[in-house]
């Protein structure tokens, strides 16, 4: 059981003998200079990544390789080399797959270190203060739906770049919303429209990013359609089903915000931002994602 064991995290690895648990991100079989097969694993935890090289008698290589999978948490014993950032394991008995009751998920899956309820509260306060009844009703419809909220709170924002952890998309959304609120003090923009754009700009990610075991993954919808298009469709479906009196021009303005928020075609947006609100949203989104990406790389 996990309760009495102190886990050694990637960030605390030191040269020498080590026994700990890591999650497998990738596995492959390689050959050494003598033509013998060995297993190479990319693995890690919420603090970072490392590798492991498993040199066994050839009869054990394939068997061990098939017994472990991407996403598994494994216990391993070996020697860590700081210069190679790699753990050498030389006995098949020194690596074993853990069952879920043998580890704490939070040690492996990165989760947002902010209070998600507080972040959600900022969105709800923003909705309450809205004057545009159509936009307010749209957001109330979404944020009064507990199933929607659960998915919105859980979603990561990416697989490996900024906010790539549980709650990351909520943290990013509030980051963009705060920037938009500040920037809107300097320009004559439609604040309600801009804030709805900020709150919903990445809403498609609740369908297009998920967790496979403990790893953030892109669904086929993200690969083939993208969160931008999915998000736009989600909003239009709700408007079509619930709010037939929603003004067509307002719907277009909102669509424009969602579709253009990545700024350029080569960055995933089918159209560039043209309206003042869309230009502000794009830059707020870019700023929040790039700054966070840089901060995460520093960790």
> How far apart are CB 161 and Fe ion at their closest, in Å?
11
Q: Establish if 232 lies at the interface with Fe ion (CB under 5 A).
A: no
Nearest to 119 by CA among 194, 154, 182, 171: 171
Nearest residue (CB) to Fe ion, 134 versus 172? 172
Q: Which stretch binds Fe ion (CB under 5 A): 16-24, 68-76, 240-248, 279-287?
A: 279-287
**Residues between 184 and 203 with contacts to Fe ion, criterion CB under 5 A:** 202
Nearest residue (CB) to Fe ion, 134 versus 262? 262
> How far apart are CB 285 and Fe ion at their closest, in Å?
4
Nearest residue (CB) to Fe ion, 45 versus 285? 285
Residues 11, 46: Cα–Cα separation, whole Å = 9
> How far apart are CB 78 and Fe ion at their closest, in Å?
40
**Residues between 201 and 230 with contacts to Fe ion, criterion CB under 5 A:** 202
**Residues between 21 and 60 with contacts to Fe ion, criterion CB under 5 A:** none
> How far apart are CB 249 and Fe ion at their closest, in Å?
24
Residues 44, 31: Cα–Cα separation, whole Å = 23
Which residue's entry shows tokens 């003598």? Answer: 34
Nearest residue (CB) to Fe ion, 27 versus 261? 261
Nearest residue (CB) to Fe ion, 154 versus 285? 285
Cβ-proximal residues to 52 (8 Å cutoff; 6+ apart), any chain = 22, 39, 40, 41, 43, 76, 78, 86, 87, 88, 89, 95
> How far apart are CB 120 and Fe ion at their closest, in Å?
17
Nearest residue (CB) to Fe ion, 52 versus 110? 110
Tell me, by CB under 5 A, how many residues bind Fe ion: 2
> How far apart are CB 170 and Fe ion at their closest, in Å?
11
**Residues between 80 and 139 with contacts to Fe ion, criterion CB under 5 A:** none
> How far apart are CB 265 and Fe ion at their closest, in Å?
14
Q: Establish if 285 lies at the interface with Fe ion (CB under 5 A).
A: yes
**Residues between 55 and 84 with contacts to Fe ion, criterion CB under 5 A:** none
The SS3 assignment for 206 reads: helix
> How far apart are CB 261 and Fe ion at their closest, in Å?
6
Nearest residue (CB) to Fe ion, 67 versus 296? 296
- What the block records as the tokens of 25 is 């991100």
Nearest residue (CB) to Fe ion, 38 versus 165? 165
Residues 265, 227: Cα–Cα separation, whole Å = 14
Q: Which stretch binds Fe ion (CB under 5 A): 44-52, 100-108, 251-259, 285-293?
A: 285-293
Q: Which stretch binds Fe ion (CB under 5 A): 26-34, 83-91, 104-112, 280-288?
A: 280-288
Where do contacts with Fe ion occur on this chain (CB under 5 A)?
202, 285
């Amino acid at each position: 059981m996990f309760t009495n064991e102190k886990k050694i995290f990637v960030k605390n690895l030191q040269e020498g003998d080590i026994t700990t648990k890591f999650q497998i991100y990738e596995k492959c079989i390689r050959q050494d200079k003598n033509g013998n097969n060995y297993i190479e694993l990319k693995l890690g935890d919420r603090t970072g990544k490392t590798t492991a090289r498993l040199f066994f008698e050839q009869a054990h290589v394939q068997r061990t390789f098939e017994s472990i999978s991407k996403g598994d948490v494994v216990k391993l014993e070996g020697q860590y080399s700081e210069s190679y950032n790699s753990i050498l394991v030389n006995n098949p008995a020194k690596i074993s797959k853990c069952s879920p009751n043998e580890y704490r998920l939070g040690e492996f899956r990165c989760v947002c270190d902010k209070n998600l309820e507080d972040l959600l509260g900022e969105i709800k306060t923003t909705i309450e203060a809205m004057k545009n009844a159509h936009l307010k009703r749209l957001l109330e419809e979404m944020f009064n739906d507990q199933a929607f909220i659960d998915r919105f709170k859980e979603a990561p924002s990416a697989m490996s770049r900024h906010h790539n952890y549980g709650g990351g998309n909520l943290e990013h959304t509030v980051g963009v919303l705060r920037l938009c609120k500040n920037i809107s003090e300097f320009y004559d923009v439609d604040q309600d429209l801009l804030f709805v754009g900020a709150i919903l700009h990445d809403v498609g990610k609740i369908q297009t990013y998920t967790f496979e075991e403990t790893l953030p993954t892109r669904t086929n919808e993200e690969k083939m359609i993208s969160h931008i298009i999915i998000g736009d469709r989600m909003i239009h479906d709700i408007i079509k089903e619930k709010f037939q009196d929603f003004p067509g021009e307002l719907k277009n303005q909102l669509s424009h915000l969602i579709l253009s928020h990545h700024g350029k075609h080569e960055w995933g947006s089918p159209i560039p931002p043209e309206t003042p609100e869309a230009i502000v949203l794009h830059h707020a989104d870019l700023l929040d994602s790039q700054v966070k990406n840089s901060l995460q790389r520093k960790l």
